[in-house]
């Protein structure tokens, strides 16, 4: 009996040692995997930053070559034009797409150095510029345009500021990009956003913090903060952002520009990378950002065309109604100060009431309503 108890005691000690060793080995494996994963993530981030640096350098070289061969280009004049004035001069051939493109490319490079607003220069735009003459009938012929990082452009990442999305280039252009190209626009740069999008700031571990063009001590807002900074700094005349809870409107406000969030589904979202799957009840929307309202209108006119409706049958085939937009007929407009779930700040509620008063002074009828619950 005594011998049996000694054997059992030895077996318990052996089992305890084996268990301890197994736990230690498991912990070591977890640690090794964690260290390896972090190292791989850092290497991915470094490669992404290197790609950005190389694209910026190649763009700088292209601008320098153009400047040397076209010293008389009046970039100051070009950059001072509104979008409507710019498109008019491009259609009249009083300005060439090359003059406009390189003027904005040069300005973008300068703005990025100050504000860190770009994730990558789309070098394919240099090739598109060579054949842009075939798109002269487009409403945005020859207009360089910036796009938010999460909008698909063939062979380029849509990171959403998240490392796991690096080195997974888009297989094709988003519908928005295809329509812009069809209308003669030249997407030439992708812009920064916050990690995982849903933030009023604009910073991520891949590309860093984007600054405000009016005060670099402050944020440009989010999540379309790169667009807000680049347009507000004068580096882009027109950009495309996305919005679910203010992601176009907040950076537009912070950076002193204009932005428009269409009703979800009014513009195609095919090729717009969401940060998570299964968005059904609250949908994101793509929309334009620019320095003035007229530019937003022109962009919506260009996008709401038969080409978009054929590429994405889920978009209602309703073109932009110029007659309705230009009409001075009084409208009946519904408004609300709260959705019943979350209360606005006093300043926001006051802003709604002030806009209501202005609309009523203009002859419109404002009707309060409560959303369905």
Q: Which residues are catalytic?
A: 148, 223, 247
User: Residue 191: beta bridge partners?
Assistant: 118, 148
Which segments within 261-371 are labelled E, that is strand?
Answer: 285-290, 332-335, 365-368
175-182 and 293-303 are packed helices; what angle lies between their axes, rounded to 10 degrees? 100
Distances (CA, A) of 353 to 196, 349, 350: 33, 6, 5
Helix (H, G, I), strand (E, B) or coil at 240: strand
Q: Write the burial class of residue 267 (CB in 10 Å: 0-12 exposed, 13-18 middle, 19+ buried).
A: buried
Which residues are bridge partners to 144 per DSSP?
Answer: 186
Q: What secondary structure does DSSP assign to 158-219, as a single string?
A: --TT-GGGTT---SS--HHHHHHHHTT-EEEEEE---TTS--SS-EETTTEE-B-SS-TTSB
Q: Using alpha carbons, list the distances in angstroms from residue 109 to 55, 93, 113, 367.
A: 11, 26, 6, 47
Contact predicate 174/153, CB 8 Å: yes
Query: Which two three-digit tokens encode residue 332?
Result: 């009946």
Are 142 and 97 in contact by the 8 Å Cβ rule? The answer is yes
Our measurement of the distance from residue 141's CA atom to the centroid of its chain's CA atoms, rounded to an integer in Å, reads 22
CA distance 70 to 91: 21
Pairing of strands 285-290, 258-259: antiparallel
CB 149 within 8 A of CB 190: yes
120's enclosing H/E stretch is strand 118-121
């Amino acid at each position: 009996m005594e011998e049996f108890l000694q054997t059992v005691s030895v077996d318990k000690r052996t089992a305890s040692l084996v268990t301890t060793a197994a736990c230690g080995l498991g912990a070591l494996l977890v640690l090794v995997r964690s260290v390896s994963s972090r190292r791989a993530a850092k290497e991915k981030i470094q490669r992404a930053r290197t790609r950005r640096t190389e694209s910026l350098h190649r763009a700088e070289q292209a601008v320098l070559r153009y400047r040397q061969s076209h010293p008389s280009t009046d970039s100051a004049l070009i950059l001072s034009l509104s979008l409507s004035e710019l498109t008019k001069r491009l259609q009249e051939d009083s300005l060439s797409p090359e003059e406009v493109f390189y003027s904005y490319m040069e300005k973008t490079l300068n703005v990025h150095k100050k504000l860190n607003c770009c994730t990558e220069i789309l070098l394919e735009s240099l090739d598109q510029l060579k054949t842009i003459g075939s798109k002269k009938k487009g409403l945005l012929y020859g207009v360089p345009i910036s796009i938010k990082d999460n909008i698909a452009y063939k062979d380029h990442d849509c990171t959403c500021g998240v490392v796991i999305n690096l080195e997974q280039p888009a297989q094709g252009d988003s519908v928005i990009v295809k329509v812009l190209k069809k209308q003669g626009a030249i997407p030439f740069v992708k812009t920064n956003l916050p990690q995982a999008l849903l933030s009023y700031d604009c910073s991520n571990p891949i590309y860093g913090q984007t600054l405000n063009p009016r005060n670099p001590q402050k944020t440009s807002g989010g999540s379309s903060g790169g667009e807000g900074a680049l347009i507000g700094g004068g580096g882009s005349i027109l950009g495309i952002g996305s919005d679910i809870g203010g992601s176009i409107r907040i950076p537009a406000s912070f950076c002193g520009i204009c932005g428009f969030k269409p009703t979800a589904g009014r513009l195609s979202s095919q090729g717009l990378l969401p940060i998570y799957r299964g968005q059904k009840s609250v949908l994101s929307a793509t929309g334009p950002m620019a320095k003035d309202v007229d530019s937003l209108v022109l962009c919506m006119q260009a996008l709401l065309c038969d080409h978009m409706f054929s590429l994405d049958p889920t978009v209602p085939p309703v073109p932009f109604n110029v007659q309705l937009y230009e009409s001075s007929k009084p409208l009946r407009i519904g408004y609300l100060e709260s959705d019943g779930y979350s209360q606005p700040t006093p300043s926001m509620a006051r802003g709604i009431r002030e806009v209501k008063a202005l609309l009523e002074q203009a002859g419109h009828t404002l009707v309060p309503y409560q959303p369905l619950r």
